[in-house]
């Protein structure tokens, strides 16, 4: 698989990332479905693996750590990304709501827990999961700097940040944020219009696209959509993708990924299927090139209206 540098760092990773959100719904699933998915991705050439502390209540990180111990030399060949900052309802107090926590104490504690579950000494890319409305950039900078100096984290990024939020945090840091992980797909074009991709281009930040196939709607169908995705209408996009796929001998999903890859910001789509055949098929995406006319044809269908 082709590779790309993440932002202004020395982390060179596969052009596609593998997302571990759903690999371990149960402990048993982590040992079977999760293990098979991780191995399929690794053998297919994925070297960037995306996690979060809350994925499968921590079981996703643990399942990945188990595979790392099993496969000789794997740790040296992969880039491990994980996230922190979301605190679930009922923790630690029963009446506690879902909230976001970028306090230095929580960031540091969360990192320690992820390191333990993954069974590694260093996380390659550590990201803040969703913007904390109470974020104090200076406090985050203290935690990030300490983790970096201790060798527990190599590089840092954010997820679901607006450009203004990323800028506020960046100004408090002495080193660059290298990623912003956001939802980008033909079903969700917000990052094209809200300044996110413009900032990524200007500041050399790598956009990582979660749900690049709109929860499966742009591929073979959705198995589990987020509430925010339930209103997506992709019928006309799918018809056009099918026509293009037949002409190229490709799958609809691989072309939907290829559409993202054409953007000059260097979007890294995060593939989240747990089915080995779909994980392997996605690797074909970089092979397919769109003309500018084809790319804009899909954009027009995604917008539901012609460009002005």
**Residues annotated as catalytic (active site), given as ranges:** 55
Q: How far apart are CA 18 and CA 32, in angstroms?
A: 17
Closest CA to 85 of 62, 71, 105: 105
Per the CB < 8 A criterion, the answer to whether 74 and 86 are in contact is: no
Q: How far apart are CA 85 and CA 108, in angstroms?
A: 10
- Alpha carbon separation from 61 to 246, 251, 267 (Å, rounded): 38, 30, 24
Q: How far apart are CA 241 and CA 288, in angstroms?
A: 12
Q: Give the torsion through C-alpha atoms of 130, 135, 139, 143, to 10 deg.
A: -10
Per the CB < 8 A criterion, the answer to whether 254 and 286 are in contact is: no
Q: How far apart are CA 284 and CA 16, in angstroms?
A: 10
Give first-to-last CA distance, the chain, whole Å: 37
Half-sphere exposure of 203 (CA within 13 A, CB side): 22
Closest CA to 274 of 13, 26, 38, 31: 38
């Amino acid at each position: 698989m082709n590779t790309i540098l993440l932002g202004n760092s020395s982390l060179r990773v596969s052009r596609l990332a593998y997302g571990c959100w759903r690999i371990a719904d149960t402990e048993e699933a982590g040992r079977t479905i999760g293990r098979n998915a991780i191995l399929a991705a690794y053998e297919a050439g994925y070297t960037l693996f995306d996690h979060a502390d809350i994925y499968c209540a921590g079981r996703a990180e643990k399942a990945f750590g188990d595979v790392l111990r099993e496969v000789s030399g794997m740790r040296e060949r992969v880039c491990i990304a994980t996230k922190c900052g979301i605190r679930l309802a009922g923790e630690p107090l029963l009446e506690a709501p879902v909230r976001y926590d970028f306090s230095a104490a929580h960031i540091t504690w969360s990192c320690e827990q992820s390191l333990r579950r993954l069974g590694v000494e260093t996380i390659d890319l550590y990201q803040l999961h969703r913007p904390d409305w109470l974020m104090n950039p200076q406090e985050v900078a203290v935690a990030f700097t300490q983790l970096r100096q201790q060798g527990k984290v190599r590089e840092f990024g954010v997820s679901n940040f607006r450009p203004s939020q990323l800028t506020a945090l960046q100004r408090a840091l002495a080193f660059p944020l290298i990623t912003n992980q956001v939802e980008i797909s033909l079903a969700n074009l917000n990052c094209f219009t809200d300044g996110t991709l413009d900032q990524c281009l200007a500041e050399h930040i790598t956009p990582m696209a979660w749900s690049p196939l709109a929860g499966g709607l742009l591929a073979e169908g959705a198995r589990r959509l987020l509430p925010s995705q339930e209103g997506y209408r992709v019928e006309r996009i799918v018809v056009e993708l099918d026509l293009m796929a037949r002409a190229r001998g490709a799958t609809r999903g691989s072309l939907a990924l290829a559409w993202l890859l054409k953007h000059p910001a260097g979007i890294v789509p995060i593939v989240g299927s747990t089915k080995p055949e779909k994980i392997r098929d996605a690797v074909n995406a970089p092979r397919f090139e769109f003309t500018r006319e084809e790319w804009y044809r899909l954009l027009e269908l995604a917008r539901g209206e012609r460009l002005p």
